[in-house]
């Protein structure tokens, strides 16, 4: 997704803007640009493609301004090219924008009647023109307020002004924006991660707020134009964040970090002395919870789906799962005795943040399961359960999925115990079993060599299917999502029992079908569904934990994951599917960390 950087300093800023834009590359983008103020004029440079290209432009023709804004763009309005790249500038003002201006067409028509000529196809350029128009009669701050009052939609903005060469104005509605502080230098960033190499002192703008940065000072204003104070947070220093080490890419690093992720996450939540889970202060008395609604997008939604099976197995609480982009527009009936749990790695996903906002407006209790604890979703929810996975850079979520599953499972156990719905022995045994998870994940990762061989079988395929029953069904969905987003091969995740109601028609000679069949109560049923696929020519890849299953000639490949207990099985089953998607994508020479068309942090709806 788009990313913003702004720096006000006492020295040239372009190198630091480029370095910070490189930090934002993980979000996924298709063009980049920078504008600095140099000799009392706006010096704008932009290009399609990578930040490296922009850096080359700057080497040929340096930008020496002490104040500037930079942007990486993920196209929404208009194709990814140089003209549509941000910043969008006139002689007097230059703008970078994340988000979508929903009434841009109407505003454009209005501005065209006043003689403004638009160069790009973007929605952003209307902001530049509105500012240019209002700057004729007023100062920058007032012109920004006037412009914002005309905009519908979501935005985070960074703006510089030709005639006010010491200020950057930032504004937020819907899309996140942070401010960083340093000595004789202040910063604007679409997330704190991009600012981390320059400062760990950060403030976060809330919706409707605006900031004015100079090199020595930052002022904040609320929507009523009153000056306000903002809290300054010290963000944690995560080591090795941008270091791939010996790994080819961040995704493989993150897959192989999972034993450590599991260890960290489990140790954060398990009190080994008391043999208990140290989650306290539920926002609703556990015994009074009527229903839990779990909400997320993409992989986070899949972790909610897995959790549904756990909650139904271990508690008497009614569970509903929702996709955030659907939830936010439905006519949901809210209830004070329900707990609304939002799952998000980034904590910035626009749909999930909006769904949370709706819950807040309806005054119901909210909880978030997030990786980024400084994120909008974490800050806006009543209660936060961090997953402690450390920064996840690869666009395809792997270790964060693992962390989400662990935290959801641990919360489910704790709730079940607090409601006296699990017997003490099972509760303590489940806690002990959680401690075995890191080692079992390590063993699962040892399957990599077999998975590499398996991946070759997907190269000529026209599509693939992932089948499972019970909690293996959401794991099948996740396996299919990983394969399609990384390798661009069509993959469909399906409940194995539903095949005969339609998708069986897709099975043809040699179609790869991944059957996820752990030895649980669905095992025999899943194997019968697998036979139906075999009879129709499907090429089977069986993933199980059953020691007794023999890999017959009808099964092209079999993988056996370790077993701890039935509830932890979906966590272990997810790992080989991550490796499979990774190796297929590697063989196909795909851009593993930045798959086409995708973004790490989806800050538009
Ligand atoms: C997963 O591999 C994705 N790229 C994507 O589905 C992601 O999980 C989704 O966009 C939600 O992101 P979040 O967890 O940051 O909210």
Q: Is the pLDDT of residue 47 over 80?
A: yes
**Lowest mean pLDDT, pick from 94-103, 231-240, 391-400, 445-454:** 231-240
Q: What is the mean pLDDT of the chain?
A: 92
For position 37, what pLDDT does the model report? 94
The answer, yes or no, to whether any atom of ligand 1 lies below 6 A from the CB of 9, is: no
* Shared domain check, 51 and 19: yes
CA of 377, closest atom in ligand 1: 16
pLDDT in tens, 500-533: 899 889 999 999 999 999 999 999 999 999 999 9
Q: How far is the CA of 384 from the centre of ligand 1 (A)?
A: 18
For position 600, what pLDDT does the model report? 80
For position 340, what pLDDT does the model report? 98
Distance CA 187, CA 16 (A): 10
Query: 530-559: string of b/e by CB count within 10 Å (b at 16+)?
Result: beebbebebbbbbbbbbeebeeeeebbbbb
**Residue 395 · residue 28 · CB < 8 Å:** yes
The answer, yes or no, to whether any atom of ligand 1 lies below 6 A from the CB of 397, is: yes
Q: How far is the CA of 158 from the centre of ligand 1 (A)?
A: 26
Domain assignment present for residue 408? The answer is yes
**Degrees to nearest 5, angle at CA 368 with 394 and 337:** 155
Fill in the DSSP letter of residue 232.
P
Instruction: Give the pTM.
Output: 0.80
Q: Which helix (H) or strand (E) holds 49?
A: none
Count the helices and strands in the chain (H runs, E runs): 19, 27
* Shared domain check, 193 and 253: no
Angle between helices 51-60 and 14-24 (to 10 degrees): 170
Q: Is 297 designated active site?
A: no
* Shared domain check, 169 and 119: yes
Reduced DSSP (H G I as helix, E B as strand, rest coil) percent helix, strand, coil of the chain, to 5: 40, 25, 40
* Shared domain check, 304 and 429: yes
Q: Is the pLDDT of residue 490 over 50?
A: yes
pLDDT in tens, 314-345: 999 999 999 999 999 999 999 999 999 999 99
Domain assignment present for residue 601? The answer is no
Q: How far is the CA of 600 from the centre of ligand 1 (A)?
A: 7
The answer, yes or no, to whether any atom of ligand 1 lies below 6 A from the CB of 352, is: yes
Fill in the DSSP letter of residue 40.
T
CATH number at residue 566: 3.40.50.10490
* Shared domain check, 351 and 281: yes
* 22 token code pair: 């490189």
* Shared domain check, 229 and 281: no
* Shared domain check, 314 and 232: no
**Residue 342 · residue 366 · CB < 8 Å:** yes
Banded model confidence at residue 551, pLDDT cuts 50, 70, 90:
low
Banded model confidence at residue 239, pLDDT cuts 50, 70, 90:
very low
Distance CA 277, CA 428 (A): 10
* Shared domain check, 146 and 85: yes
pLDDT in tens, 360-383: 999 999 999 999 888 889 989 999
The answer, yes or no, to whether any atom of ligand 1 lies below 6 A from the CB of 353, is: no
Q: How far is the CA of 87 from the centre of ligand 1 (A)?
A: 27
> In the listed set 402, 424, 442, which residue is the last one of a domain according to the structure?
442
CATH number at residue 65: 3.60.20.10
Domain assignment present for residue 296? The answer is yes
CA of 345, closest atom in ligand 1: 14
pLDDT in tens, 208-225: 999 999 999 999 999 899
Q: Is the pLDDT of residue 498 over 80?
A: yes
Domain assignment present for residue 222? The answer is yes
Q: What residue has token string 């510089």?
A: 160
Distances (CA, A) of 2 to 92, 209, 489: 23, 20, 26
The answer, yes or no, to whether any atom of ligand 1 lies below 6 A from the CB of 325, is: no
Q: Catalytic: which of 22, 253, 365, 600?
A: 600
The answer, yes or no, to whether any atom of ligand 1 lies below 6 A from the CB of 203, is: no
3-state secondary structure of 179: strand
> In the listed set 384, 409, 442, which residue is the last one of a domain according to the structure?
442
Whether a cis peptide bond, with omega within 30° of 0, leads into 279 is no
Q: Is 304 designated active site?
A: no
Banded model confidence at residue 39, pLDDT cuts 50, 70, 90:
confident
% of the chain surpassing 70 pLDDT: 98
Banded model confidence at residue 80, pLDDT cuts 50, 70, 90:
confident
By DSSP bridging, strand 383-386 and strand 365-370 are parallel
Domain assignment present for residue 594? The answer is no
Q: Is the pLDDT of residue 553 over 70?
A: no
* Shared domain check, 185 and 86: yes
The answer, yes or no, to whether any atom of ligand 1 lies below 6 A from the CB of 444, is: no
**Residue 411 · residue 501 · CB < 8 Å:** no
**Cβ neighbours of 100 (radius 10 Å):** 20
Banded model confidence at residue 605, pLDDT cuts 50, 70, 90:
confident
**Lowest mean pLDDT, pick from 25-39, 130-144, 476-490:** 25-39
Distance CA 227, CA 586 (A): 52
Q: Which residues contact 325 (CB under 8 A, 6 or more apart)?
A: 297, 351, 605
* 30 token code pair: 């298709």
The answer, yes or no, to whether any atom of ligand 1 lies below 6 A from the CB of 370, is: no
CA of 481, closest atom in ligand 1: 2
- Per-residue DSSP letters for 484-530? HHHH---EEEEEGGGGGGTGGGG--TT-EEEEE--SSTTHHHHHHHH
The answer, yes or no, to whether any atom of ligand 1 lies below 6 A from the CB of 378, is: no
Mutational pocket test of ligand 1: of 251, 299, 399, the residue with most ligand atoms within 8 Å of the beta carbon: 299
3-state secondary structure of 174: strand
- Residue 367's beta-bridge partner residues? 341, 383
Domain assignment present for residue 595? The answer is no
- Domain span holding position 390: 245-442
Q: What residue has token string 């966590």?
A: 571
For position 238, what pLDDT does the model report? 57
**Nearest Cα residue to atom 16 of ligand 1:** 344
Q: How far is the CA of 98 from the centre of ligand 1 (A)?
A: 18
For position 275, what pLDDT does the model report? 85
**Cβ neighbours of 453 (radius 10 Å):** 10
Which of 464 and 100 is assigned the larger pLDDT?
Answer: 464
Q: How far is the CA of 400 from the centre of ligand 1 (A)?
A: 9
Q: Is the pLDDT of residue 240 over 50?
A: no
Banded model confidence at residue 44, pLDDT cuts 50, 70, 90:
very high
Q: Which residues contact 12 (CB under 8 A, 6 or more apart)?
A: 36, 63, 64, 65, 66
* Shared domain check, 401 and 506: no
Distances (CA, A) of 237 to 206, 240, 376, 522: 23, 9, 19, 45
> In the listed set 442, 477, 500, which residue is the last one of a domain according to the structure?
442
pLDDT in tens, 290-299: 999 999 999 9
Phi-psi region of 466 (alpha: psi -120 to 50; beta: other; left: phi over 0): beta
- Per-residue DSSP letters for 68-128? EEEEEE--SSS-SSTTTSSPEE-SSEEEEEEEEETTHHHHHHHHHHTT----SS-STHHHH
**Nearest Cα residue to atom 8 of ligand 1:** 299
**Lowest mean pLDDT, pick from 38-42, 142-146, 565-569:** 38-42
Banded model confidence at residue 246, pLDDT cuts 50, 70, 90:
confident
CA of 600, closest atom in ligand 1: 4
* Shared domain check, 479 and 362: no
Q: Which residues contact 231 (CB under 8 A, 6 or more apart)?
A: 203
The answer, yes or no, to whether any atom of ligand 1 lies below 6 A from the CB of 395, is: yes
CA-nearest of 301, 302, 599 to 478 is: 302
How many domains does one find in the chain? 3
* Shared domain check, 227 and 358: no
When pLDDT is averaged across residues 251-264 and rounded to a whole number, the result is 95
Domain assignment present for residue 599? The answer is no
By DSSP bridging, strand 185-189 and strand 201-204 are unpaired
Question: 268 exposed, middle or buried (CB, 10 Å; 0-12, 13-18, 19+)?
Answer: middle
* 68 token code pair: 């500037």
Q: Is the pLDDT of residue 165 over 80?
A: yes
Which of 396 and 242 is assigned the larger pLDDT?
Answer: 396
Q: Which residues contact 510 (CB under 8 A, 6 or more apart)?
A: 461, 537, 539
CA-nearest of 375, 398, 368, 411 to 262 is: 398
3-state secondary structure of 158: strand
Q: Which helix (H) or strand (E) holds 562?
A: none
Distances (CA, A) of 209 to 94, 152, 355, 468: 20, 15, 20, 47
């Amino acid at each position: 997704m788009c990313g913003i950087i702004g720096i006000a300093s006492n020295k040239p800023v372009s190198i630091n803007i480029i370095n910070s834009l490189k930090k934002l590359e993980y979000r996924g983008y298709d063009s980049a640009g920078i504008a600095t103020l140099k000799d009392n004029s706006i010096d704008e440079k932009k290009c399609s493609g990578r930040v490296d290209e922009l850096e080359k432009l700057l080497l040929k023709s340096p930008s020496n301004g002490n104040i500037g804004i930079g942007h990486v763009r993920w196209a929404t309005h208009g194709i990814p090219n140089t003209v549509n790249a941000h910043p969008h500038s006139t002689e007097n003002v230059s703008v970078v924008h994340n988000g979508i201006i929903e009434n841009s067409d109407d505003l454009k028509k209005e501005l065209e009647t006043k003689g403004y000529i638009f160069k790009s196809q973007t929605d952003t350029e209307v902001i530049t023109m509105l500012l240019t128009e209002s700057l004729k009669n007023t100062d920058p701050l007032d012109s920004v307020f006037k412009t914002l009052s005309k905009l519908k939609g979501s935005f985070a903005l960074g703006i510089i002004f030709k005639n006010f060469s010491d200020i950057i104005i930032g504004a937020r509605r819907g899309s996140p924006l942070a401010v960083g502080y340093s000595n004789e230098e202040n910063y604007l960033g679409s997330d704190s991660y991009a600012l981390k190499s320059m400062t760990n002192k950060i403030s976060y703008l809330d919706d409707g707020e605006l900031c004015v940065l100079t090199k020595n000072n930052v002022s904040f204003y609320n929507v009523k134009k009153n000056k306000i104070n903002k809290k300054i947070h010290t963000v944690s220093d995560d080591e090795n964040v941008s270091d791939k080490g010996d790994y080819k890419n961040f995704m493989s690093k993150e897959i192989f970090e999972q034993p450590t992720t599991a260890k960290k996450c489990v140790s954060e939540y398990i009190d080994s002395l008391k043999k208990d889970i140290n989650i306290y202060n539920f926002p609703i008395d556990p015994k009074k919870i009527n229903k839990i609604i779990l909400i997320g997008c993409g992989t986070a939604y899949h972790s909610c789906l897995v959790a549904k099976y756990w909650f139904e197995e271990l508690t008497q609480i009614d569970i509903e799962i929702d996709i955030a982009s659907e939830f936010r527009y439905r006519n949901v009936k809210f209830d004070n005795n329900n707990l609304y749990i939002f799952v998000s790695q980034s904590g910035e996903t626009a749909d999930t943040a909006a769904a949370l906002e709706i819950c807040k407006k309806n005054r119901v209790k909210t909880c978030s399961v997030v990786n980024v604890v400084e994120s909008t979703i974490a800050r806006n929810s009543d209660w936060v359960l961090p997953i402690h996975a450390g920064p996840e850079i690869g666009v395809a979520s792997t270790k964060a999925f693992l962390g989400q599953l662990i935290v959801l499972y641990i919360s489910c156990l704790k709730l079940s115990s607090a409601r006296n719905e699990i017997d003490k022995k099972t509760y303590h045994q489940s806690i002990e079993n959680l401690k075995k998870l890191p080692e079992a994940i390590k063993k699962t990762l040892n399957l990599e060599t077999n998975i590499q061989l398996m991946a070759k079988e997907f190269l000529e395929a026209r599509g693939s299917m992932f089948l499972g029953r019970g909690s293996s069904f959401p794991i099948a969905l996740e396996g299919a999502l990983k394969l399609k987003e990384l390798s661009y091969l069509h993959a469909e995740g399906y409940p194995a029992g539903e095949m005969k109601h339609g998708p069986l028609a897709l099975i043809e000679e040699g179609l790869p079908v991944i059957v996820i069949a752990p030895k649980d109560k669905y095992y025999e049923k899943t194997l019968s569904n697998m036979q139906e696929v075999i009879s129709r020519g499907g090429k089977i890849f069986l993933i199980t934990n059953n020691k007794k299953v023999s890999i017959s000639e009808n099964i092209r490949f079999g993988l056996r994951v370790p077993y701890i207990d039935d509830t932890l099985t979906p966590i272990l089953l997810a790992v080989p599917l991550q490796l499979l998607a990774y190796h297929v994508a590697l063989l196909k020479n795909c851009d593993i960390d930045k798959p086409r068309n995708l973004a790490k942090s989806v800050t538009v709806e």
